[in-house]
Structure 1
Amino acid sequence: MTAVKLDYADLAGAAGTEFGPSEWLEVTQDRIDTFADATDDHQWIHVDPERAAEGPFGAPIAHGFLTLSLLIPLQSSVFDVDGVGTKVNYGLDKVRFVSPVKVGSRIRLSGTVADVTEVPGGYQLVVDVTIEIEGGTKPAVVARSLSRFYA
């Protein structure tokens, strides 16, 4: 695992910085069920193991937005900025859910700082991230995230 910790004063030159992969994180049925409860998305393909076993993936799968939400803890474990007063998730420019994450799968994240722009009072980082599935041939998620850092 390659963790990167940058100093706020060095953000202007951070484009091209690579980080990760993170540690593997198992996506359990309990995590899927908790996410379903939080979002009121109880589609059977996520929360009914017996029915999902007969479905197109042979097992329950994580919600795409659950996998995407894990971007935050996975990225935070391998990329951070010191000397910052406030960190803000500014959004996403692009997200693709390339492969389903079956219950019991393990995922991890790698990323690259694609661009850094000065904004009033701070910097905006554009980060290209990939969440891969252990043993998979295609990633679970590819995304371009935007974050702002203020001193």
Structure 2
Amino acid sequence: MRVFTGPDDLQSNVGTEIGVSDWLTVDQERIDQFAEATGDHQWIHVDVERAKAESPFGGPIAHGYLTLSLLVPLQKTVFRVDGTKMGVNYGLDKARFPAPVPAGSRIRSRIELVDATPVEGGIQVKFRHTIEQEGAAKPACVVESIARYYF
């Protein structure tokens, strides 16, 4: 677990890979729960039999936005920022989904600290997440997440 102690520590680590998360299984139950929570019940995600028969992926796949939503639990296994009053998600840049995440796959995030810029009361930090799928040649997702930490 990487621990950042404040804005200066974050700024001094710009351009470095800060770690790789633990593996997380994206099972059909999680996909179904995401579909229920978001109202996105497209058959390629939730109709197992149809996805096996008709999908070019050979079975159901996770929603791209489900993969994005897993950034938080994945990054919690990699780092934390101590001494903050609060941290907030500020947005995303350059989100891409080069490969699908089949139900039952294991994913992890390789995280690089891309930028750290002071803002009033804190610091804005950009991380590049490369979401790797176990055994796959291409990443499932590459995205830059932006967070603000207030001290």
TM-score range, shorter chain: over 0.9
Alpha-carbon distance, 1:4 to partner:
1.2
Matched, 1:139 2:136: no
Map of 2:36 onto structure 1: 37
Alpha-carbon distance, 1:16 to partner:
2.2
Map of 2:18 onto structure 1: 19
Partners of 2:13 and 2:87 lie apart in 1 by: 16
Alpha-carbon distance, 1:85 to partner:
0.7
Partners of 2:21 and 2:81 lie apart in 1 by: 16
- After TM superposition, the score normalised by the length of structure 2 is 0.95
Contact persistence 2:11–2:115 (CA under 8 A): no
Cα RMSD (Å) of the superposition? 1.0
Residue 74 of structure 1 aligns to a residue in which SS? helix
- After TM superposition, the score normalised by the length of structure 1 is 0.95
Alpha-carbon distance, 1:19 to partner:
2.3
Map of 2:97 onto structure 1: 97
Residue 20 of structure 1 aligns to a residue in which SS? strand
Alpha-carbon distance, 1:22 to partner:
1.0
Instruction: Rate the CA distance shift 1:67–1:35 in 2: closer, same or farther, 3 A.
Output: same
Map of 2:64 onto structure 1: 64
Residue 46 of structure 1 aligns to a residue in which SS? helix
How many positions carry a matched residue from both structures? 149
Any runs of at least 4 consecutive aligned residues in structure 1 with deviations exceeding 4 A, and if so which?
none
Residue 143 of structure 1 aligns to a residue in which SS? strand
Counting aligned pairs with the same residue, the percent is: 57
Partners of 1:29 and 1:132 lie apart in 2 by: 18
* Aligned partner letter, 2:2: V
Partners of 1:106 and 1:115 lie apart in 2 by: 28
Partners of 1:4 and 1:105 lie apart in 2 by: 26
Gaps of 5+ in 1: none
Contact persistence 2:3–2:81 (CA under 8 A): yes
Residue 44 of structure 2 aligns to a residue in which SS? helix
Map of 2:76 onto structure 1: 76
Alpha-carbon distance, 1:120 to partner:
0.5
Map of 1:7 onto structure 2: 5
* Aligned partner letter, 2:4: L
Gaps of 5+ in 2: none
Alpha-carbon distance, 1:150 to partner:
0.4
